[in-house]
């Protein structure tokens, strides 16, 4: 899954893709580099980010979605926690909704996904972008992530979203200190086994990597990302969300071959 941030404040991109033409060109490059799907986001979800309105979010993503729908052969995902944005994005060509809140921020999101027929990614987090680190308090991080994702799955089912359209994401880097993120990666197979759903993992360039690689800026964390991606694939991840598609596609394919031969 290639990350296409159509925002002026992405934490991890060296090049701002705020211009729709630049965003479209970047998406086409990611597809050519081996991306199996493209995740378009118009609101930063980095820790400390300020929330934006649905109208502003749509003004960023809709021109890109309209331009990409007839040019990409791979599916498009919309990275949003707002039901209104999700509905409009699916109408514009997206086929997956990636909700980093796990249906916890907008009560209408589950119904929106069910009615549009989109696939749904439920990510684990706590609180908002402003408060998530204050809520990173766990006894057993993996057990608590599993139970909180189970609750998100129950909400999706109650809204009418078929289980076979749902993917789970343990939320590496979200409402988690570095030790929590590493713990989730180390025990990812437990998450997959307990929830029995395909697992998406997004470690790309995140700040928890600094615990191991030092105080490098986000665009210089791709080697660390490669290690986390390898661990995730070997532990059973089905989708890997990354910025550097060309490089990480090679990492994923090799890790998949190792897993297959095991």
Residue 101 DSSP label: T
Q: Which residues contact 208 (CB under 8 A, 6 or more apart)?
A: 172, 173, 176, 177, 178, 181, 182
User: How far is the C-alpha of 65 from the C-alpha of 85, rounded, in Å?
Assistant: 12
Q: Which of 60, 176, 206, 221 is catalytic?
A: 206
User: How far is the C-alpha of 144 from the C-alpha of 63, rounded, in Å?
Assistant: 39
DSSP assignment of 19-39 equals SHHHHHHHHHHHHHHT-S-EE
Instruction: Tell me, yes or no, if 206 is annotated catalytic.
Output: yes
Q: Which of 82, 176, 221, 241 is catalytic?
A: 241
42: its two tokens: 């118009």
DSSP assignment of 106-144 equals -TTHHHHHHHHT-EEEEE---S-TTTGGGG---SSHHHH
Residue 49 DSSP label: P
Residues with a catalytic annotation lie at: 206, 241
């Amino acid at each position: 899954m290639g990350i296409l941030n159509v925002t002026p404040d992405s934490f991890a991109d060296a090049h701002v893709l705020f211009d729709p033409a630049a965003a479209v060109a970047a998406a086409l490059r990611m597809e050519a580099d081996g991306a199996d799907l493209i995740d378009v986001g118009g609101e930063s979800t980095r820790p400390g980010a300020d929330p934006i309105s649905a109208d502003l979010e749509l003004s960023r993503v809709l021109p890109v979605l309209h331009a990409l729908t007839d040019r990409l052969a791979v599916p498009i995902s919309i990275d949003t926690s707002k039901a209104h944005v999700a509905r409009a994005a699916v109408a514009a060509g997206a086929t997956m909704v990636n909700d980093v809140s796990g249906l916890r921020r907008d009560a209408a999101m589950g119904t929106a996904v069910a009615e549009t027929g989109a696939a749904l990614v439920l990510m684990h987090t706590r609180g908002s972008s402003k408060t998530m680190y204050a809520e990173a308090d766990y006894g057993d991080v993996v057990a608590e992530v599993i139970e909180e994702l189970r609750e998100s799955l129950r909400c999706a089912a109650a809204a009418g979203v078929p289980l076979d359209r749902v993917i789970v994401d343990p939320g590496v880097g979200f409402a988690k200190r570095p030790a929590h993120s590493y713990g989730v990666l180390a025990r990812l197979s437990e998450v997959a086994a307990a929830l029995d759903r395909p697992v998406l993992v997004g470690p790309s360039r995140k700040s928890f990597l600094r615990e191991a690689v030092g105080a490098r800026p986000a665009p210089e964390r791709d080697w660390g990302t490669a290690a986390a991606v390898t661990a995730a694939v070997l532990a059973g991840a089905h989708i890997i969300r990354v910025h550097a598609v060309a490089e990480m596609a090679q990492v994923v394919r090799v890790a998949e071959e190792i897993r297959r031969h095991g």
